[in-house]
């Protein structure tokens, strides 16, 4: 018998309560987090402006020394250009752009002459598209005041933060959920496990962010990432812990796109550890009946952030 998967009569109410719970958290968290990130990003943009003489000295050597500045340059154009758009406009290697923005380095194996040529094409493209309504001094030839520079930096920082907002919120969602799990378990005298092997954990312990190593098809070793693993206090020798996947979403669209991920993970776990493995979801946010019905059909149960005590029904 299930805890939530077999009770569709309360899914609609739970969905609404979950949405309300998430929205309250978002309204309290997002504005302050965004402001803090924008303040730090503005300082970063001002630093790059200083190093480029306020965009008057965009050079290949500057990009060689400061590969991470490329992302800021993309947000300084009119219109701001996406990474793939820059690759197409400048006719440069996609891996070079990704290395510069994600790894803060140029492609280590690229020949120097090709590297300098492609960086030069990036500079030419960005220089042609610079947003002169923001960097007004580029047309007038005047030296910008500190107020002018700060204003321009704030606009670019806003654009950068728009790109950073979703990852920022996702990371905060995940931290919130794992903190909620820790709080609930700690209140019931569970302790953090130093053992991270699910077949060796002691009763009354838990661990976050565990890679479960398992044999797939009898020979291939795969790592299955699990957010939280809890060995119930009542567990006997040979019992497996409860595996919990934390899922949080700020809209209904993405949850239905990603609902197959949990089903795939469940199948991998069952193939590796047998049908008795227990894998559930911790849900917070926008999860509607379509999503819940899909997971229920796969035999995956869940608890809601707004009703954490359902964990007791899983033997915790």
Return the structure tokens found at 147: 């107020």
pLDDT tens-digit map of 82-113: 999 999 999 999 999 999 988 889 888 889 89
Return the structure tokens found at 227: 């957010």
pTM of the model: 0.72
- The sheet with strand 205-216 has its strands ordered as 191-192, 205-216, 220-231, 242-249, 278-285, 301-304
pLDDT confidence bin for 287, thresholds 50/70/90 = very high
Work out the average pLDDT over 12-36.
Answer: 89
The ranges assigned to domains in the chain are 8-27+173-314, 30-166
Work out the average pLDDT over 208-227.
Answer: 80
For 11, residues 6+ apart whose C-beta sits below 8 A from its C-beta are 4, 289, 292
> Looking at per-residue confidence, does 260 or 10 come out higher?
10
Task: Assess contact for 316 and 230: CB atoms under 8 A.
Answer: yes
69: nearest Cα among 99, 115, 42, 100: 100
Task: Assess contact for 250 and 195: CB atoms under 8 A.
Answer: no
List the CATH code of the domain at 8-27+173-314: 3.40.1350
Length of the chain equals 316
Instruction: Please report the pLDDT score of residue 216 as a whole number.
Output: 66
- Rounded CA-CA distance 176/42 in Å is 27
């Amino acid at each position: 018998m299930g805890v939530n998967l077999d009770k569709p009569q309360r899914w609609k109410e739970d969905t609404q309560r979950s949405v309300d719970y998430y929205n309250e958290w978002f309204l309290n968290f997002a504005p302050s987090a965004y402001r803090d990130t924008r303040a730090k990003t503005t300082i970063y943009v001002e630093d790059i402006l200083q190093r480029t003489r306020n965009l008057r000295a965009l050079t290949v050597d500057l990009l060689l020394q400061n590969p991470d500045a490329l992302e800021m340059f993309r947000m300084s154009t009119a219109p701001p250009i996406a990474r793939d758009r820059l690759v197409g406009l400048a006719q440069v290697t996609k891996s070079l752009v990704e290395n510069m923005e994600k790894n803060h380095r140029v492609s280590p194996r690229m020949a120097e002459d090709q590297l300098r040529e492609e960086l030069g094409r990036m500079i030419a493209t960005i220089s042609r598209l610079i947003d002169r309504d923001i960097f007004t001094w580029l047309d007038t030839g005047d030296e910008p005041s500190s107020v002018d520079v700060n204003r321009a930096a704030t606009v670019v920082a806003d654009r950068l933060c728009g790109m950073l907002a979703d990852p920022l919120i996702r990371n905060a969602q995940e931290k919130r959920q794992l903190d909620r799990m820790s709080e609930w378990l700690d209140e019931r005298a569970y302790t953090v496990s130093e053992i991270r092997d699910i077949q060796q954990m002691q009763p009354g312990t838990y661990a976050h962010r565990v890679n479960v190593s398992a044999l797939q098809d009898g020979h291939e070793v795969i790592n299955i990432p699990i957010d939280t693993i809890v060995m119930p206090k009542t567990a006997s020798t040979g019992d497996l812990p409860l595996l919990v996947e934390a899922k949080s979403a700020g809209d209904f669209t993405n949850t239905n796109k990603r609902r197959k991920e949990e089903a795939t993970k469940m199948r991998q776990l069952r193939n590796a550890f047998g049908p008795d493995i227990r894998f559930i979801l911790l849900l917070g946010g926008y999860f509607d009946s379509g999503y819940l019905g899909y997971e229920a059909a796969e035999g995956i149960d869940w608890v809601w952030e707004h009703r954490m005590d359902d964990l007791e029904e899983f033997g915790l």
